[in-house]
């Protein structure tokens, strides 16, 4: 029998959903402007760079939490 893996916690799923909504309609509507330039990039482009980083941070946290839970299980 193949037990399915544990899904990420509800908090993580919400975080993933926020990241997803930020990158498409309607979230990206908030950022649809040129000013201010951040790190030389127009704001709309910077928005995407920033959310990719936010996703990276979220995945690091998810990974660490899962590692700790597995350590507890052992």
Partner 1 sequence: MTDSLLITGITLGYLLVVLAVGLRARRGQGSSLEGYVAGGRHMGLLVLFFILGAEIFSAFAFLGAPGWAYSKGAPALYIIAYLALAVIVWWLIAPYISRLGRRHGFLTQAEFLTACYPTRGNLLGLFIGIVSVLAMIPYLTIQIAGAGMLFEAATSGTIPFWLGSLLACGVVAAYVYASGLQGIGWTNLLQGVMMVIVAWFLGLATADQFFGGVGEMFREIQREAPEYLTMPGASGMGWGAFSTAILVSALGCVMWPHIFMKFYSARSERTLKRVFVLYPLYSYLLIPLLIIGFAGVVLLKDRPLDSPDQVLLTLVVEMADFPAWLIGLALSGALAAAMSTAANLAHTSATILIRDVGQHLPSLRGMDDGKALRLTRYGVVVVSLAAYLLALVNPGSLVALLLGAYGIVVQLLPMLLGALFWRRASRIGAFAGLASGAVLTLYFQFSGSTPFDWHAGFCGLVVNALVFVGVSLSVSPVTQHTPAEALGPQP
For binding to partner 1 (CB under 8 A), which residues are involved? 1-5, 7-8, 16, 19-20, 23-25, 28-29, 32-34, 37, 39-42, 44-45, 48-49, 51-53, 55-56, 59-60, 62-63, 66-67
Q: DSSP assignment, residue 31?
A: G
Distance in Å, CB of 9 to partner 1, minimum: 13
Report the alpha-carbon distance of residue 13 to residue 42 in Å, rounded: 30
Distance in Å, CB of 59 to partner 1, minimum: 4
Please give the span between the terminal C-alpha atoms of the chain, in angstroms, as a whole number.
21
Which residues is 38 bridged to in the sheet?
Answer: 41
């Amino acid at each position: 029998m193949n037990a399915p893996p544990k899904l990420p916690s509800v908090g993580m799923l919400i975080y993933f959903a926020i990241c997803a909504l930020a990158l498409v309609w309607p979230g990206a509507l908030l950022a649809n402007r040129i000013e201010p330039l951040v790190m030389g990039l127009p704001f709309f482009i910077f928005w995407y760079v920033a959310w990719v980083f936010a996703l990276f941070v979220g995945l690091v946290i998810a990974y660490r939490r899962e590692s700790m839970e597995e350590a507890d299980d052992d």
